[in-house]
Amino acid sequence: MKSLITGGAGFIGSHLAEKLLDMGQEVYIVDNLWTGRLENIAKIQKKKNFHLVVETILNESVMNELIFKVDHVYHLAAAVGVRNIMDHPVETLDINVKGTETVLRLANQFKKKILIASTSEIYGKHIDHTLSEDDNRVMGSVKKRRWAYACSKTLDEFLALAYYDEKKLPVVIARLFNTVGPRQTGRYGMVLPNFVQCALLGKPIPVYGDGTQSRSFTHVSDVIDALTKLMAEPKAEGDIFNVGNDKEVTIKDLALKVKEMTGSHSEIEFISYEKAYGPGFEDMERRCPNIDKIREIIGYNPTKNLTAIIQSVIDYFKE
């Protein structure tokens, strides 16, 4: 079995590459190293079944050659992180829309099975209950840049399902909720590594807004296990699955727990969204998945609780 991972030098992609290699697969990754890093793949870069191509997924001739070679495509490449999206809206839309269109079109040309990594941001400002795959979406104004990422990934999902329905391309869509663990950095607004780094360095821990907004966090090892099982399950084709943890925590409580577990004397500093991201920024008050559907089809159940997740990030940054 040969697999291609777009965005394979990224946080999630590098862990997925390791798992596929451990499963005996030959692994190709393509990454432009915008947010991906060579150090993420340092342990596997010299393995004979591993191949790295440093290129953008917008390069159609390169993607054509790579997709032709493989059996499966894991499409993880995307502009990610709130900070990135606010600072680089054109690149966000280019990569997330044009890039996905290119990958899907070429996967269809060679009829290669493809998994599209989507996002919980799809649900927008939904707060009424845990989020199920068929729920309506609640989006903010197009004048608020915050929603560009969610809208671009929505289009990705529509396009993927269109290829499945019209072209019979075997497609699986995984909506990832907050995925965390070793190798993730706080550089682009990722909350947990940012909190841990600040706590270990004795710097103020920055909480945006009043900290009552809640999130659910899933360890990257649970996420990649879900992705490989979804790819292997024929019944998952043409469908969408939440991949996450159904236990939620407020951001303020997360900061307090990080402070406690690191033994830090850092203060928790509350920063307005306007100061952090500029005027008119909107955030999601709650984001917690219903995981009944993925549990039923592949027996998915997260194995790491919040304490274990935080500890793995602490250990990574201490190293």
Which residues are known to be catalytic? 149
- The rounded distance, in Å, linking the Cα atoms of 216 and 191 is 12
Q: Are 53 and 30 in contact (CB under 8 A)?
A: yes
- The rounded distance, in Å, linking the Cα atoms of 166 and 201 is 53
Strand partners, 30: 6, 53
- The rounded distance, in Å, linking the Cα atoms of 237 and 171 is 5
Q: CB within 8 A of 90, min separation 6: which ones?
A: none
Identify the residue whose tokens are 């991906």: 36
Ramachandran area for residue 183 (φ above 0: left; ψ -120 to 50: alpha; else beta): left
Helix 306-318 vs helix 191-201: crossing angle, to nearest 10: 60
